[in-house]
Structure 1
């Protein structure tokens, strides 16, 4: 009986801790970066091409243009991804900033979270480009914030993995095959 009592006390403390985290920890940040052996304009073009997303974004399923034209400030689109359980989830993005070959910034949201994603492209010399990705986000409630707290290192790893996939895609292909390819 003592074991059950202590077990429920421990579980209760853990749940209360997660609720407290969900209430007080609401702002999260994820950073990832990669250096690619390719010119800045090529790295930017591949990163910004929705037809190539499936070749480097984990669990990517589709792209739907909702409003405006690609690369116009304020344009809206929806990205579709498969969750771990096989369901489709969406992420609506609105282009907030766009400087060709240098910067892309989106405000995004879905049923779980909202935030801002900014990718900067820097020419590091000798034909290489550094991409720095920064995401600032918050959950849409106490439960979501608690889950984001628990998953924050996995989220960081996922963004870094995607950038590594992008690096491989660019470095292992010919530029003319990527920038305008529909594959």
Structure 2
């Protein structure tokens, strides 16, 4: 009987801790960076090409244009991804800043979170380019914030993995096959 009592006390403490985290920890940040052996204009063109997303973004399924034109400030589109259970989840993005070969900034949201994504492109010399990705986000409630806290390292690893996939795609492909822009 003591075991059951202590078991429920431990579970209660864990749940209260998660609730407290969900209340007080509301701002999250994810960073990823990679150096790619390719010129900045090529790296930017591949990163910004929705036709290539499926080749480097994990679980990417489709992009649905909602408003505006690609690369136009205010452009809104919906990204669709497959979850681990096979369901489709969406992420709506609005382009808020766009500097060709330098910066892409989106505001994004879905039923779980909202935030801002910044991708900057820096020519590091010798024909290489660094992409720095920074996401600032918050959950839409206590439960979402607690889950984001628990998943924060997994989120960081996912963004880094995607950039590594992008690096492989660019470095192992012929530039003529990848440089397609929708302007």
Shorter-chain TM-score tier: over 0.9
Partner of 1:70: 70
- How far does the alpha carbon of each residue in 1:87-134 deviate from its partner, in whole angstroms, 9 at most, with x for none? 000000000100000000000000000000000000000100000000
- Secondary structure of 2:133's aligned partner: strand
Structure 2 matches for 1:25-64, cutoff 5 A? Answer: 25-64=25-64
Partner of 1:20: 20
> C-alpha separation between the residues in 2 aligned to 1:122 and 1:35?
9
Partner of 2:151: 151
Partner of 1:4: 4
**Structure 2: any 5+ residue segments left out of the alignment?**
none
Structure 2 matches for 1:111-126, cutoff 5 A? Answer: 111-126=111-126
> C-alpha separation between the residues in 2 aligned to 1:57 and 1:179?
17
- How far does the alpha carbon of each residue in 1:119-176 deviate from its partner, in whole angstroms, 9 at most, with x for none? 0000000100000000000000000000000000000000000000000000000111
- How far does the alpha carbon of each residue in 1:41-78 deviate from its partner, in whole angstroms, 9 at most, with x for none? 00000000000000000000000110000000000000
> C-alpha separation between the residues in 1 aligned to 2:96 and 2:160?
22
> C-alpha separation between the residues in 2 aligned to 1:175 and 1:26?
42
- Secondary structure of 1:58's aligned partner: coil
- Secondary structure of 1:165's aligned partner: helix
- Secondary structure of 2:51's aligned partner: helix
> C-alpha separation between the residues in 2 aligned to 1:87 and 1:126?
43
> C-alpha separation between the residues in 1 aligned to 2:49 and 2:23?
38
**Structure 1: any 5+ residue segments left out of the alignment?**
none
- How far does the alpha carbon of each residue in 1:8-29 deviate from its partner, in whole angstroms, 9 at most, with x for none? 0000000000000000000000
Output the aligned Cα RMSD: 0.7
Give the structure-1-normalised TM-score: 0.98
Partner of 2:172: 172
